[in-house]
Amino acid sequence: MSAMNHNLEYLRLLKIPVWQVRGQEVSETVEPLIYEEVLPATESITASAIMPMMDDHPQEIQSVSNIATALHAQAVTSVENCTACKLHNGRTQVITGKGSPAAKIVVITEAPTFNEDVAGELFAEEAGKLFENILKSIGYRMEDVYITPYVKCAPYQLFITEAEEAQCHQHLMNELNEIQPQKVLLLGRNVAKYLLKATQSFDAVRNQSAHLNILDKAVSVYVSYNPYQLLKFPEEKRKVWNDIKKMMK
Ligand code: SF4
């Protein structure tokens, strides 16, 4: 798929309006005025910049998935009965990661919501569909990435304390050490603030380069909006496409 069609696919899947000249079909041959208007400040991304990660993806998942699945089961056992911080008092269940344990991309989200706590799963319902569409626009499925919350229990109060974040940190690091991703995507303000120790505005954090050390290796980190934020503020969906393009380079 060409870069232009990736743009179009993203806009279509996320229900972002696309303006076109009456009577003209949007195609490879149409002048790209639409895209320059919708995504003004971004450099173009080529299909070849995206495809290498997607092409060799399935084989690598197959080759290591059995070992990774066994390791993942051990990590889940160690966290599911955790009572290390006060958040265990209010939870229905611990929410651990889901997706491929051999994923090249790990997505770290905010702490579980009330609905996720009850459902026992991240990105329940509409937020899940939205994130699925974001992945789809770059040729990925939910099961191709690994998604996990930075804190594993839903907060019963309105915020999570630094002590609770710190108590849960090792659970997250266990997952990252086990998966050893090539890239990490942080979705949401709280997770970016905690993991990057960021004090700037959220947009400034989104636009900066960052790394996480995973088993002594510096892994590139990207920051974008959480699907729950996008449901509340749909006008931010266009920024997410820029963030995703940056990650796929
Ligand atoms: Fe344990 Fe993390 Fe849950 Fe706290 S939030 S009880 S550290 S799993």
pLDDT in 10s for each residue of the chain, 249 residues: 565 666 667 767 666 665 555 555 444 333 332 222 233 333 332 222 233 233 333 333 333 344 445 555 555 568 999 999 999 999 999 999 999 999 999 999 999 999 999 999 998 789 999 999 999 988 899 999 999 999 999 998 878 999 999 999 999 999 999 999 999 999 999 999 999 998 899 999 999 999 999 999 999 999 999 999 999 999 999 899 899 989 998
For 68, other C-beta atoms within 10 Å of its C-beta total: 19
pLDDT the model gives residue 18: 58
Q: Which atom of ligand 1 is nearest to the CA of 82?
A: 1
CATH 3.40.470.10 assigned to 62-248: yes
What is the β-pairing status of strands 183-187 and 146-149?
Answer: unpaired
Ligand 1 — pocket residues by CB below 6 A?
A: 79, 82-85, 87-88, 94, 151-153, 164, 167-168, 171
Separation of CA 83 and ligand 1 centre (Å): 6
Q: Which atom of ligand 1 is nearest to the CA of 83?
A: 6
Separation of CA 2 and ligand 1 centre (Å): 44
Residues 75 and 94: their CA atoms lie apart, in Å, by: 12
What is the β-pairing status of strands 98-99 and 146-149?
Answer: antiparallel
Q: Which atom of ligand 1 is nearest to the CA of 111?
A: 5
pLDDT the model gives residue 159: 85
Nearest CA to ligand 1 atom 4: 85
pLDDT the model gives residue 46: 28
Query: What is the location of CATH 3.40.470.10 in the chain?
Result: 62-248
Residues 202 and 136: their CA atoms lie apart, in Å, by: 25
CB-based contacts of 73: which residues, under 8 Å, 6+ apart?
none
pLDDT the model gives residue 66: 46
Residues 17 and 69: their CA atoms lie apart, in Å, by: 41
Write a three-state SS string for 80-136. HCCCCCHHHHCCCCCCCCEECCCCCEEEEECCCCHHHHHHCCCCCCHHHHHHHHHHH
Q: Are 84 and 133 in contact (CB under 8 A)?
A: no
